[in-house]
Homo-oligomer: A and B are copies of this chain.
Amino acid sequence: MKVEYINPFIEASQSVLKQMTGVEAKLKKVFLKTSPYDSDSVVCILGVTGKIRGQVLLSMSHESALKVASTMMGGIELTALDDVAKSAVAELSNMILGNTATILYNRGIKIEITPPSIVVGEKIQISLEKVKTICIPLSLGDGVELSIDVAAEES
């Protein structure tokens, strides 16, 4: 996938994370993931159609999800990944993809996105067929890490 398609995901992630958590998300080295891969235990999966077609997965550990959700809730300390916490993480993924779609649209690339499915579990392994998965790892400090996996291609 072209860099011009990936950069908006990075820009949107950093912008939305700053807005929602107040923290500057530090971009780590972007890399290609080989399918299947072991995943973190909390994954938001969103579909993308249009000029780019595929799936985008926002994943993080249980602990990172709790910290991110707590920050988004104004610092209320959440201790369990309940519906409220999952809803916050889902909204984060929704906003990141919505923002990405807007950036792409302004550059003449039209995509449509689906709402997220939130998957929580243990020993999760993810397979994405026939497309390369580009992993965008982001660090929010204080041990909070998340990654945005873009498994999509130009259609």
Contacts and interface: CB of A to CB of B under 8 A. Distances in A.
Interface residues of A, number: 39
Contacts of A36: 83, 86, 118, 120
Interface in A38-65: 39, 43, 45-50, 53-55, 57
A83 B36 CA distance: 8
A90 interface: yes
Contacts of A124: 119-121, 124
A19 interface: no
A25 interface: no
A129 B121 contact: no
A93 to B, nearest CB: 10
Given A49-B47, A83-B36, A120 B131 contact: no
A136 interface: no
Main secondary structure of the interface of A (DSSP, over half): strand
A7 interface: no
Interface string A76-116: 00000001001100100010000000000000000011111
Interface of A: 36, 39, 43, 45-50, 53-55, 57, 83, 86-87, 90, 94, 112-131, 151
Given A90-B127, A117-B128, A118-B128, 12 more contacts: A39-B119, A45-B45, A45-B55, A45-B119, A47-B48, A47-B49, A53-B112, A54-B114, A116-B129, A119-B126, A120-B124, A124-B124
